[in-house]
Structure 1
Amino acid sequence: MFENTKAFSGFSVDDIDAARRFYGEVLGLRISEANGMLTLHIAGDRDTLVCPKKDHVPATFTILNFPVEDVEAAS
């Protein structure tokens, strides 16, 4: 049933404005916004949904990974 479905991932944040600034301005990702949610347009044709959640608690694990050649230089 889902073997040909193009899945996408998503995560919640407690501040959509801060997320827009971070992902758009700091990381330089292309972002769109609709219905109070952000979509991160990342290379590879798999968008990531960022949705607001009032009782959001930050994950204790990695939810979004970006491959880089030098971690120290990228941070």
Structure 2
Amino acid sequence: MTEVMIYNHQKFIKTIPGDTKSIAKEVAKQDFSARLTITDVADNLILTTIGNLLDYVPDKKWLQDELLPILIPIQMGEEEF
């Protein structure tokens, strides 16, 4: 994945690198009012959030094997973002 598109409240905000760590950092730094939708450049859904918490992630294997092992330590303050 090269880049992903970030939308907040359905408005395009920016693109970021599409690696799992970059996505995790973007999710973790959101405040409680954010409602992110992250898609690939073909507009395929990667995930949605409510604040800095995951709401919906269609790829459960990626969620379990890659995203959560990076995101949880960041959210728990064990790793800086």
TM-score bracket, normalised by the shorter chain, equals under 0.3
Higher relative contact order (CA 8 A, sep 6+): 1
Mark the structure with the bigger radius of gyration: 1
Tell me which protein shows more strand as a share of its residues. Answer: 2
